């Protein structure tokens, strides 16, 4: 399984970043540029995104297996795993099976559950998200409609455009797969068993994964820390990059358990 990645930084702990539904490896450009002087920052294209090979069937077992194979291939076995939204779900699913690979877990604007893909709510979610594509909309058109509500107001035009450009590149087939995959996610059973250091990051104005929801999630995890970033929505790492990076750096530093350090 071939996953494309971008890596910057040659010293320090390893930070692996998993993007959201409308992202790709470039979604973490502010972290690649802002943290690579102190961390080895790896940002991945998940299957079907960017230049990564798509999956014939996208489900959590295949995604977890693919991430493990990626980490094994690159000899990354003590990493700080950061996941945003859809990527945060993958980070939780991976931690449930392979916590021994992780020095810490950073969950950013995500959820521990969505439910079952045979439930009414899930079916309505899938239908509503895919309806524009079914009616002939392109991914660029869909991106222009969906990105603005994700951002805090007033949002910076360059941030909005960067997010739209990123989502516009997502193949419609991959987007469809990811929507259906999300609808079947449920990792609530593992929250009490998470014993690795865990940080939750939320945007104060996020209407998708609200700060209140993230606080409830944090309360289910042993010794979890939470930070709510002001003037940020669902894309806090783009909207408040300096504050976001500082929170990540401050959290990782005391949890650097690399061999030989």
Instruction: Note the pLDDT of residue 258.
Output: 52
Identify the CA nearest to 14 among candidates 31, 32, 34, 39. Answer: 39
| Whole-number pLDDT of residue 254 | 87
Stretches in the chain below the pLDDT threshold 70:
1, 115-119, 257-261
Give pLDDT, residue 261: 35
For 164-195, what is each residue's pLDDT tens digit? 999 999 999 999 999 999 999 999 999 999 99
> Which spans in the chain are helix H?
29-35, 60-73, 86-98, 120-134, 139-147, 157-168, 172-182, 211-219, 236-239, 241-252
User: What is the predicted pLDDT for the residue at 126?
Assistant: 85
Query: Residue 238 sits in a domain of what CATH number?
Result: 3.40.50.1820
In the prediction, which pLDDT does 259 show? Answer: 40
Q: Show the domain range for 19.
A: 5-114+186-255
Indicate whether 106 belongs to any domain: yes
pLDDT at residue 117 in the model: 58
Does the residue 130 lie in any domain? no
Residue 25 lies in a domain: yes
Is the residue at 146 inside a domain? no
200 within domain boundaries: yes
Q: State the pLDDT at residue 122.
A: 78
**Number of folded domains in the chain?**
1
pTM: 0.95
């Amino acid at each position: 399984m071939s996953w494309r990645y971008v890596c910057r930084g040659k010293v320090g702990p390893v930070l692996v970043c998993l993007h959201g539904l409308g992202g790709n490896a470039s979604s973490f450009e502010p972290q690649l540029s802002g943290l690579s002087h102190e961390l080895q920052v790896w940002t991945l294209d998940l299957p079907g995104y960017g230049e990564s090979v798509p999956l014939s069937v996208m489900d959590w077992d295949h995604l977890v297996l693919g991430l493990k194979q990626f980490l094994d291939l690159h000899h990354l076995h003590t990493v700080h795993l950061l996941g945003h939204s859809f990527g945060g779900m993958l980070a939780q699913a991976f931690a449930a099976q392979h916590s021994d690979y992780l020095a810490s877990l950073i969950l950013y604007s995500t959820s521990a559950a969505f439910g079952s893909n045979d439930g009414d709510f899930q079916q309505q979610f899938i239908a509503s998200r895919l309806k524009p594509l079914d009616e002939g909309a392109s991914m660029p058109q869909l991106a222009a409609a969906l990105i603005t509500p994700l951002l805090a107001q007033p949002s910076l035009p360059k941030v909005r455009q960067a997010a739209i450009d990123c989502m516009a590149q997502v193949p419609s087939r991959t987007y469809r797969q990811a929507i259906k995959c999300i609808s079947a996610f449920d990792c609530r059973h593992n929250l009490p068993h998470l014993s690795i250091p865990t940080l939750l990051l939320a945007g104060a104005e996020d209407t998708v994964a609200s700060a209140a929801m993230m606080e409830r999630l944090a309360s289910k995890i042993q010794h979890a820390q939470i930070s709510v970033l002001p003037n940020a929505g669902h894309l806090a790492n783009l909207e408040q990059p300096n504050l976001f990076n500082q929170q990540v750096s401050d959290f990782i530093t005391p949890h650097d358990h690399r061999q030989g350090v």
